Amino acid sequence: MASGKIIVTVAPTGGVGTKQANPALPTQPAEIAEDVIRCCEAGASVVAVHARRPDDSATCDPGIYQDINERIRKGCDIVINNSTGGGPTGEMVGPITAGGEPTGDLEMLWSERVKGIEAGAEICTHDAFCANTYAPDGGVVMMNASIQRSRELAQAMKEKGIKPEWECFSVAHMLDPIRLIEEGLDEPPYIFNFVLGAHRNIQAAMPWSPKTLVAMVDELPKGSVFTVSGIGPAQMPAAMGAVICGGHVRFGLEDNNYYSRGVLANNLQLVERLVRQVRELGYEPATPAEAREMLGVPRKPSVN
Amino acid sequence: MADGKVIITIAPTGGMGSKEMNPHLPTQPEEIADDVFACYEAGASVVAVHARRPDHTATCDPDIYRDINDRIREKCDIIINNSTGGGVTGEMVGPTKDGHLEILWEQRIKGVEGGAEICTHDAHTIVGSFNGKNITVATPPNACRELAIMMKERGIKPEWECFNLSHMQDPLLLIKEGLDEPPYIFNFVLGASKGFQGAAPFSLKVLQSMVDMLPKGAIFTVSGIGPAQLPAAMASIICGGHVRVGLEDNMYYGRGQLATNLQLIERLVRQLHDLNLEPATPAEARELLGVPRAKAA
């Protein structure tokens, strides 16, 4: 809590949620931009964008990302993060093959995921691990980032001047990022996002607990900045855990659909509650300019 | 955050603060009772009482405790905890044979005679440094046991006060000896390192290590000192504990802005509501703490 400023990231959409589960979920470019601009006015300084096709299925299509990013930049100067995870639906998903033959198992296609870096985002997520995810239809979809793939993506980000956000669902997911950092593929400040409580959707993701968070904070390389994304009912306690450990917070419908038990939330409500809590604790939400400074992210030239 | 209820303890006075430091500090029985009642109405369910003489120096005089307790009980059914630590001034402090100052044991143990439902039990030895003086709070193992027995005989629940991990050791031994029954009440005081040698600073890691040492059937509250009050309160809640706030622990609402007890309670209750939690009522707190309603004085 060095500077007294907390970076609030809004994650408005995600790759998994549906309007059926929460009608307030923004999925189309205009909806997302409108929601993000409101959240920025309420104190969010970073947005974690996921893109969707017109049929709401997940995509990393740079054309759609670009459309969303431009609409957001027209309305505010929030720092833009585009996902290279996409989601477990639509064109993101394809068969795992062996010797050219489908094995019957599915993965989030690497060739689709890496398109996420082509749309002019200042930060992109980098999930440098392998994990099985459970799709909404009950199927299993592999997220498969070997060290070779992770290195390739880190190099591509470095060439484009994109900051990687190292996304970690457990302490083990920090190991490849640390290795790539040691290889010189990222510079301080290193941005880590600890996603806690996703164990219902991702195999071996750690449930939220203060102890788990402390263990992950202990593994951070010197010069890191971290944010915490608490999933579902873990959202509020994980946010408080992050702040008292000197970190930052991600909030939004990507991570949690509910304001309280049985009461659906919208993104603005979640950001407003978080900002209230940040202020009660004696801190202020960082502005986008302050967040850029803290995250080591230069302002992108306007895309207009 | 087991059942969604958080026990809020108000520590309105303490044994160290003065009205010169904060004019809102209640020190006399009527002031304390009025302040505690306002805090009770705002959501506090336990009060950690320290008594003061008319000249504001610290005391464990049972008559003064009883006066305060009676005045509080006339107004509300908040659970009453009386300190057996007293404070660092007045009759509480005296010289040892070799000329050192200590908080006198014979004064401290009077704290169990004022009719409280809970009394603090500082089962450790620690040196406090105040106004350039070193004052020892000496509680060797035999004294710890003696006080635990006195409390058991009077039906008083001990609140095991711990400034660091090692302060849990003697309570654990006494619990093993059968001198307390579940739920065991622990109070983790964190961030008192300016005044007390070896007191642990607040961090989530320190708190987690203390939580890990709790015996089965324990319930804990956290008292964050000074600027640690806010983060320690949140840390306690996310670790499944309860919270003490008040001017005993922290004089400020924000940097340079003196607080009142009521302001500190009101802020905590607002924070609980945003966490979808509720402050426990005194009746719920009695249930959680295993403290029967005290007989009317």
Q: Which residue has the tokens 């929460």?
A: A22
Q: Measure the CA–CA gap between B71 and B10, rounded to whole angstroms.
A: 16
Of the two residues A103 and A10, the one the predictor is more confident about is A10
Give B-chain residues touching A276 at CB under 8 angstroms. Answer: 274
Q: What is the mean pLDDT of chain A?
A: 95
Cβ <8 Å between B238 and A237: yes
Give B-chain residues touching A247 at CB under 8 angstroms. Answer: none
| CB-based contacts of B50, cutoff 8 Å, min separation 6 | B11, B13, B14, B15, B58, B83, B85, B86, B87, B248
Residue A223's CB is within 10 A of a number of other CB atoms, namely 12
Q: What is the pLDDT of residues B8-60, one digit of tens each?
A: 999 999 999 999 999 999 999 999 999 999 999 999 999 999 999 999 999 99
Q: Identify the pLDDT of residue B30.
A: 98
Residue by residue, DSSP assigns A106-170 as EEE-HHHHGGGGGS--SEEEE--SEEEEE-TTS-EEEEE--HHHHHHHHHHHHHHTPEEEEEESS
Cβ <8 Å between B208 and A210: yes
Q: Measure the CA–CA gap between A75 and A70, rounded to whole angstroms.
A: 9
Cβ <8 Å between B204 and A214: yes
Residue A127's CB is within 10 A of a number of other CB atoms, namely 28
Residue A196's CB is within 10 A of a number of other CB atoms, namely 27
pLDDT > 90: percent of chain B: 93
Q: Measure the CA–CA gap between A129 and A112, rounded to whole angstroms.
A: 17
Q: Identify the pLDDT of residue A100.
A: 87
Q: Which residue has the tokens 């689709």?
A: A112
Q: Measure the CA–CA gap between A79 and A196, rounded to whole angstroms.
A: 23
Chain B closest CA to A284's CA: distance in Å? 13
Amino acid at A197: G
Of A191, A209, A207, nearest in space to A199 by CA: A207
Q: Identify the pLDDT of residue B294.
A: 64
Task: Tell me which residue in A210, A261, A273 faces B239 most closely, judged by beta carbons.
Answer: A210
Q: Identify the pLDDT of residue A105.
A: 87
Of B214, B228, B123, nearest in space to B167 by CA: B123
The tokens describing B250, both together, are 């922290």
Cβ <8 Å between B237 and A245: no
Cα torsion B118, B124, B125, B126 to 10°: value is -80
| CB-based contacts of A171, cutoff 8 Å, min separation 6 | A206, A212, A215, A216, A219
Q: Identify the pLDDT of residue B2.
A: 44
Q: Identify the pLDDT of residue B3.
A: 67
When pLDDT is averaged across residues A203-213 and rounded to a whole number, the result is: 96
3-class secondary structure, A123: strand
Using the Cα atoms of residue B213, residue B215, residue B219 and residue B223 in order, give the sign of their dihedral: negative
Task: Tell me which residue in B204, B254, B271 faces A245 most closely, judged by beta carbons.
Answer: B204
Side-chain-facing half-sphere of B84: CA atoms under 13 Å: 32
Q: Which residue has the tokens 């992109």?
A: A124
Q: Could you tell me how far CA A259 lies from the centroid of its own chain?
A: 20
Q: Is A207 on the interface with B (CB under 8 A)?
A: no
The tokens describing B25, both together, are 């500090």
Cβ <8 Å between A261 and B276: yes
Side-chain-facing half-sphere of A25: CA atoms under 13 Å: 23
Q: Identify the pLDDT of residue A301.
A: 56
Q: Measure the CA–CA gap between B49 and B13, rounded to whole angstroms.
A: 7
Cβ atoms of residues B52 and B92 within 8 Å? no
Give the confidence band of B98 by pLDDT, cuts at 50, 70, 90. confident
Q: Please give the residue of chain A at the shortest CA–CA distance from B208.
A: A211
Cβ <8 Å between B230 and A273: no
Q: Could you tell me how far CA A85 lies from the centroid of its own chain?
A: 9
Give the confidence band of B83 by pLDDT, cuts at 50, 70, 90. very high
Crossing angle of the two packed helices B261-274 and B29-42, in degrees rounded to 10: 20
3-class secondary structure, B32: helix
Q: What is the pLDDT of residues A44-78, one digit of tens each?
A: 999 999 999 999 999 999 999 999 999 999 999 99
- For an interface test with B, give the residue of A244, A251, A258, A260 to mutate (most B CBs within 10 A): A244
Q: Measure the CA–CA gap between B225 and B236, rounded to whole angstroms.
A: 13
Cβ <8 Å between B231 and A237: no
ipTM comes to 0.86
pLDDT at B296 over 80: no
pLDDT at B198 over 60: yes
Q: Identify the pLDDT of residue B297.
A: 46
Q: Please give the residue of chain B at the shortest CA–CA distance from A271.
A: B274
Give A-chain residues touching B230 at CB under 8 angstroms. Answer: 280-282
Give A-chain residues touching B235 at CB under 8 angstroms. Answer: 210, 240-241, 244
The tokens describing B284, both together, are 């719920």
Burial A81-116 (b: 16+ CB within 10 A, else e): bbbbbbbbbbebbeeeeeeeeeeeebbbbbebbbbb
Chain B closest CA to A32's CA: distance in Å? 25
Give A-chain residues touching B255 at CB under 8 angstroms. Answer: 282
pLDDT at B97 over 90: no
Give A-chain residues touching B275 at CB under 8 angstroms. Answer: 236-237, 240, 277
In chain A, helix, strand, coil percent, each to 5?
35, 25, 40
Q: What is the pLDDT of residues B233-289, one digit of tens each?
A: 999 999 999 999 999 999 999 999 999 999 999 999 999 999 999 999 999 999 999
Chain A closest CA to B227's CA: distance in Å? 10
Q: Measure the CA–CA gap between B123 and A22, rounded to whole angstroms.
A: 53
